[in-house]
């Protein structure tokens, strides 16, 4: 699949975060590979304390903090910045804000999200806790297109793992996060090859 992108210029991508940014770090590492189809030119955070902003700074990637007190104003700032950096793909990575329908229309079919469950099961928050409480045998993660319904867009790729008896919310969080780091780059390649 990767071979498809050889010699093509990379797409400008923005990664949206709200927290520690471990998926951001893995996407930055991936984007630096010669065969990667994306170049991360912008990191957007909804939280000025987000640790992930450090990865952006360490890699000299332009970063902005958008505070969602006034949503129309926040989204205007966001859209202006996305246009300025000619963003062609948005990757949500632990972004804890809901994007408005108006915003989603402007970037229709260009926004991906990673979610720590096997969608359509366990949309929303506290997925690992709910998975354990329901004594599920498997869990995993999903990369999907973002639409106006929470965690409901077209599924691009999923990866599943077995839940062990000794697993708790913490151990599952760590395991699924490792999976996410492997899955997101693969999903981006799959998504872009089918465009």
Active site residues: 115
Q: Which residues contact 112 (CB under 8 A, 6 or more apart)?
A: 89, 90, 91, 92, 143, 144, 145, 146, 156, 187, 188, 191
Q: Rounded to the nearest 10 degrees, how much is the dihedral formed by the CA atoms of 191, 71, 81, 107?
A: 30
First to last CA, the chain: 13
Tell me the two tokens of residue 174. 């760590």
> Phi then psi for 9, rounded to 5 degrees?
-75, 150
């Amino acid at each position: 699949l990767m071979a498809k992108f050889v010699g093509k210029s990379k797409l400008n991508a923005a990664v949206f975060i709200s927290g520690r940014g471990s998926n951001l770090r893995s996407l930055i590492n991936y984007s630096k590979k010669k065969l990667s189809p994306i170049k991360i030119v912008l990191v957007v955070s909804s939280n000025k304390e987000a640790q992930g902003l450090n990865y952006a700074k360490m890699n000299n990637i332009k970063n902005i903090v958008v505070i969602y007190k006034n949503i129309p104003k926040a989204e205007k700032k966001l859209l202006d910045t996305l246009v300025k950096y000619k963003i062609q793909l948005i990757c949500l990575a632990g972004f804890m804000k809901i994007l408005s329908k108006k915003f989603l229309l402007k970037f229709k079919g260009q926004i991906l999200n990673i979610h720590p469950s096997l969608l359509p099961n366990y949309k929303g928050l506290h997925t690992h806790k709910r998975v354990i409480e329901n004594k599920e045998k498997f869990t995993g993660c999903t990369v999907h297109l973002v639409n106006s319904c929470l965690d409901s867009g077209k599924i691009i790729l999923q990866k599943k793992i077995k839940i062990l008896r000794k697993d708790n919310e913490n151990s599952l969080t760590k395991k699924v996060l490792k999976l996410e780091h492997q899955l997101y780059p693969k999903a981006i390649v799959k998504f872009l090859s089918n465009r």
